[in-house]
């Protein structure tokens, strides 16, 4: 039995250069889309900016009836405010559309070799059909040099597959029937050998189709937090609409009751005009966060896609930011994975060669990396050539499963061999009437305490059941994992290691890695029960998985990340799929989710503080002639009411453009507690949101005075 291996490790994936978030090429592409978004039928989804557009339309009508430099300048900047808001969303979508264009290149008019009435071992009858005609349940054969026509599972054969069109990885991967590495993706290329694939997706529902829809924003739905914030912004907007609408009657009443106050003709002979009221409303409502909210959400999805993670919805991304408990598989996530056999420890009276032969025979049906490593170790160290089914006529093979935690073979001469977890083999030996020597328990404990994994080999021969010895599997904790878990702890996230190992082994690895807790000898039912317990305590849970037995837990978890190399059942159960099949990426996904929430919170804080500063710019300048006492609030000492209003409107538009890169890139993320994040938001974005408008509006006011008719 030979196990194919790759000659070299996968090359690290590099992200394509985007030329920056405000790349001129991207802006030229996004600008027409921003203009199209001025359609009220599109803009109604953003109530804040819809109010601004209605105000800009009304101001345009007023400027036509009573034209002036001031009126037309206000109108121009009101329309620019709406356009800049649309531009933020269009730029975010434009980056996704550029990715979608490259993904579409993977969707070619592939001709599929569909098999008719295929069954394993039967003669193959194939018919060429166009790939889009394939349906769920169809079988296709793919050979070296051919493109896999659709998503599916390998049901026969083993092959090297180039997945660079999907994942960006240049090194090929192995896909084979059985186990958790059977899934293949349409658009990838078979490099060697031959496989039979069962199609698992209907046309238009492949991963490439989903990624294209995702990055283009076609299927993006607002998350619960985003909807709640939109409702809050709409409520604030309605409040300010009523508040601003009362200002003109208030001014008229104040003047009629105070005939000695100065005339308000500095604005208009008739008092506060409609254009002034619209300008005041636009400056006071939360236009900044209203303009950037959608772009922040799209950018969060975009950051996931750039890390080769396919999210079913924005809800999953947002949930990742609120995760309280992180469930991580030990093998391949916390440790390097692919535990390898490093030693055979026979019990007294059993020869090394005898144990090696039994361990290899009982592992021939075990398709896990551990089982294969035992076959290879016996081959290399003890010169035990792996036998095939044809060389063992009459043998009955016992497949390894997560439930039995054993594999083995029943030979034609009546001899039975089992290899697996110490507890499982112990029960099997005792059930057959045998006993386990005390020396075996000591060896198991020693291997477990050292962080290794002990597997027991048992035998029933001529009615006598006994233990032959122990296989020592070694694994290594990945470098830097303790530091990553310390960061999770700082964010208030509890980490739990999930493993099928016995409690002693699990405890040793958990202590070395620095996780908060562990679940040993975990079955699919145990994982599901753990998730439910955490959720019953009001915590959000994230986990990764790749096997069919992980599907229930992935479906139950708030954030379930399935590996692309895993089974179709796992990928359908999770709400995210990692195309790189890197289990440690769950930590990055949580960080991306938190960055999304932090960015939204930071810019909301800035927007509210921003509005406070604009209030001090406009309201005192407007009402000082009526109420001289307000002059104490006119801290900016703007030149005139007209320049104050125009300066505030211009700043209100320009600040949206200035914040687009931050909304798309995200606020810098550092692991910290909620109190630290709140303090940083208030000091950096709260205080900054007050100070920056004061400086910006003052500078613009100095420039506005140079315009004719504005001095």
* Residues acting as catalytic residues: 329
The reply to whether 419 sits in an annotated binding site is yes
The reply to whether 546 sits in an annotated binding site is yes
The reply to whether 405 sits in an annotated binding site is yes
The rounded distance, in Å, linking the Cα atoms of 210 and 200 is: 14
The rounded distance, in Å, linking the Cα atoms of 158 and 173 is: 11
The reply to whether 400 sits in an annotated binding site is yes
The reply to whether 432 sits in an annotated binding site is no
Contact 150, 198 (CB under 8 A): no
For 348, left (φ over 0), alpha (ψ -120 to 50), or beta? beta
> Quick one: tokens of 374?
């035992």
Please report the beta strands in 525-568, taking only residues with DSSP state E, as ranges in sequence order: 541-545, 559-563
> Within 10 A of 433 (CB to CB), how many other CB atoms are there?
10
Which DSSP category does 349 fall into? T
Contact 277, 78 (CB under 8 A): no
The rounded distance, in Å, linking the Cα atoms of 646 and 77 is: 8
List of long-range contacts for 381-389, beta carbons under 8 Å, 24+ apart = 381/356, 382/344, 382/352, 382/353, 382/356, 382/357, 384/356, 384/357, 384/360, 386/1, 386/2, 386/360, 387/1, 387/361, 388/1
The reply to whether 701 sits in an annotated binding site is no
The reply to whether 85 sits in an annotated binding site is no
Closest by Cα among 538, 570, 539 to 554: 570
The rounded distance, in Å, linking the Cα atoms of 550 and 376 is: 28
> 153 has which bridge partners?
183, 198
Residue 329, helix vs strand vs coil:
strand
For residue 591, which phi and psi values (nearest 5 degrees)?
A: -65, -40
The rounded distance, in Å, linking the Cα atoms of 16 and 306 is: 9
The rounded distance, in Å, linking the Cα atoms of 130 and 620 is: 71
Cα 227 → chain centroid: 20
The rounded distance, in Å, linking the Cα atoms of 687 and 705 is: 28
The reply to whether 401 sits in an annotated binding site is yes
Q: 338: number of CA atoms within 13 Å, CB side?
A: 7
The reply to whether 499 sits in an annotated binding site is no
The reply to whether 631 sits in an annotated binding site is no
The reply to whether 568 sits in an annotated binding site is no
The H or E element containing residue 409 is strand 406-410
The rounded distance, in Å, linking the Cα atoms of 555 and 550 is: 9
The H or E element containing residue 113 is strand 111-115
The H or E element containing residue 419 is strand 416-421
Which DSSP category does 477 fall into? B
Strand 541-545 relative to strand 517-519, pairing: unpaired
Strand 517-519 relative to strand 494-498, pairing: parallel
Which DSSP category does 17 fall into? P
In angstroms, what CA-CA distances link 686 with 97, 448, 516, 605? Answer: 34, 53, 35, 5
> 470 has which bridge partners?
345, 456
> Quick one: tokens of 605?
């804080």
> Quick one: tokens of 256?
């009629």
The rounded distance, in Å, linking the Cα atoms of 29 and 94 is: 7
The reply to whether 402 sits in an annotated binding site is yes
Q: Which residues are annotated as a binding site for Mg(2+)?
A: 546, 550
Residues at the annotated binding site?
366, 370, 400-407, 419, 546, 550
Binding-site annotation, residues for ATP? 366, 370, 400-407, 419
């Amino acid at each position: 039995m030979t196990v194919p291996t790759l000659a070299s490790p996968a090359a690290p994936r590099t992200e394509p250069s985007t030329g920056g978030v405000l790349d001129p090429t991207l802006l030229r592409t996004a600008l027409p889309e921003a203009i199209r978004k001025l359609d009220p039928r599109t803009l109604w989804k953003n109530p804040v900016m819809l109010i601004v557009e209605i105000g800009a339309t009304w101001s345009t009508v007023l400027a036509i009836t009573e034209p002036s430099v001031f009126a037309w300048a206000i109108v121009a900047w009101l329309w620019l405010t709406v356009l800049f808001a649309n531009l933020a969303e269009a730029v975010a979508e434009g980056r996704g559309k550029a990715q979608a264009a490259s993904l579409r290149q993977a969707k070619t008019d592939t001709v599929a070799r569909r098999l008719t009435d295929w069954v394993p071992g039967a003669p193959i009858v194939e018919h060429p059909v166009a790939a889009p005609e394939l349906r769920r349940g169809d079988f296709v054969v793919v050979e070296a040099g051919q493109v896999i026509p659709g998503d599916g599972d390998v049901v026969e054969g083993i092959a090297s597959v180039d997945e660079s069109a999907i994942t960006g990885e240049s090194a090929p991967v192995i896909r084979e029937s059985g186990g958790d590495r059977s899934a293949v993706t349409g658009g990838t290329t078979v490099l060697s050998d031959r496989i039979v694939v069962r199609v698992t997706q209907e046309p238009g529902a492949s991963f490439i189709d989903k990624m294209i829809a995702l990055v283009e924003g076609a299927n993006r739905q607002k998350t619960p937090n985003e909807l709640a914030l939109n409702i809050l912004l709409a409520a604030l907007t309605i409040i300010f609409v009523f508040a601003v609408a009362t200002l003109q009657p208030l001014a008229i009443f104040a003047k009629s009751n105070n005939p000695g106050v100065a005339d308000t003709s500095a604005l208009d002979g008739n008092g506060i005009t409609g254009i002034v009221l619209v300008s005041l409303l636009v400056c006071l409502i939360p236009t900044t966060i209203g303009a950037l909210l959608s772009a922040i959400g799209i950018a969060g999805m975009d950051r996931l896609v750039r890390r080769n993670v396919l999210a079913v919805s924005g809800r999953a991304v947002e949930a990742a930011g609120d995760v309280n408990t992180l469930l991580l598989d030990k093998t391949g996530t916390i440790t390097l994975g692919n535990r390898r056999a490093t030693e055979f420890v026979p019990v007294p009276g059993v020869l090394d060669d005898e144990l090696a032969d039994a361990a290899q025979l009982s592992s021939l049906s075990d398709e896990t990396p551990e089982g294969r490593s035992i076959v290879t170790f016996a081959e290399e160290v003890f010169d035990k050539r792996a036998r095939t089914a044809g060389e063992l006529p009459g043998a009955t093979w016992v497949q390894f499963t997560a439930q039995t935690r054993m594999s083995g073979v029943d030979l034609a001469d009546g001899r039975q061999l089992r290899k697996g977890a110490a507890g499982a083999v112990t029960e099997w030996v005792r059930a057959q009437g045998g006993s386990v020597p005390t020396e075996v328990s000591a060896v198991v404990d020693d291997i477990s305490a050292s962080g290794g994994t002990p597997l027991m080999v048992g035998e029933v021969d001529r009615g006598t059941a006994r233990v032959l010895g122990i296989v020592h599997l070694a694994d290594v904790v990945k470098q830097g994992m303790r530091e990553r878990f310390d960061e999770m702890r700082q964010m208030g996230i509890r980490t739990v290691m999930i493993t099928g190992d016995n409690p002693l082994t699990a405890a040793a690895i958990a202590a070395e890695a620095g996780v908060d807790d562990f679940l040993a000898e975990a079955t699919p039912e145990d994982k599901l029960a753990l998730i439910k317990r955490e959720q019953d305590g009001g915590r959000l849970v994230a986990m990764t998985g790749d096997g069919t037995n992980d599907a229930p837990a992935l479906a139950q978890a708030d954030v379930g990340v399935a590996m692309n190399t895993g089974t179709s059942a796992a990928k359908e159960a999770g709400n995210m799929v990692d195309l790189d099949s890197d289990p440690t990426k769950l930590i990055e996904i949580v960080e991306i989710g938190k960055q999304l929430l932090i960015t939204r919170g930071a810019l909301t804080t800035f927007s509210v503080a921003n509005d406070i500063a604009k209030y001090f710019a406009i309201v005192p300048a407007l009402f000082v002639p009526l109420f001289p006492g307000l002059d104490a609030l006119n801290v900016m000492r703007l030149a005139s009411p007209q320049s104050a209003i125009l300066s505030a409107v211009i700043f209100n538009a320009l600040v949206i453009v200035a914040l687009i890169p931050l909304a798309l890139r995200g606020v810098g993320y550092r692991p910290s507690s909620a109190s630290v994040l709140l303090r940083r938001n208030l000091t950096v974005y709260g205080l900054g949101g007050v100070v920056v408008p004061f400086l910006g509006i003052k500078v613009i006011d100095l420039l506005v005075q140079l315009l004719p008719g504005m001095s």
